[in-house]
């Protein structure tokens, strides 16, 4: 999987950290500080998910509490329509 830039991105995490992939994201300005990223899957990854029905998440917490994750198949920034 590769993180990709999309229409609503307003920041890039880890842009100057060579040990990580740059992570384009939309970051809300409210107190929730919601972060939305978009990922492109290879054909092999798509087939694997189709066959197994499983998607794994790893989260680096560095000893802090884990933050909630919300996988979605539609862009959560566009309400009322199904968008990629």
Task: Give the DSSP letter string of 43-74.
Answer: HHHHHHHHHH---------TTSPPPP----SS
Residue 84 pLDDT > 90: no
Q: For the segment 18-63, what is each residue's pLDDT rounded down to a tens digit? A: 998 899 999 999 998 999 999 999 999 999 999 999 999 888 889 9
Residue 81 pLDDT > 60: no
Nearest by Cα to 38 from 68, 62, 64, 73: 73
Which pLDDT belongs to residue 80? Answer: 62
Q: For the segment 61-74, what is each residue's pLDDT rounded down to a tens digit? A: 899 998 888 888 88
Most confident of 9-13, 31-35, 75-79: 9-13
Residue 75 pLDDT > 70: yes
């Amino acid at each position: 999987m590769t993180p990709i830039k999309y229409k609503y991105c307003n920041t890039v995490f880890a842009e100057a950290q060579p040990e990580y992939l740059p992570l384009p994201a939309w970051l809300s300005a409210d107190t929730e500080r919601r972060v939305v990223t978009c990922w492109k899957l290879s054909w092999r990854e798509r087939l694997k998910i189709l066959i197994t029905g499983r998607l794994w998440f790893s989260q680096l917490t560095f000893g802090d509490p884990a933050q909630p994750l919300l996988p979605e198949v539609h862009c959560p920034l566009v309400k009322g329509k199904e968008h990629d």
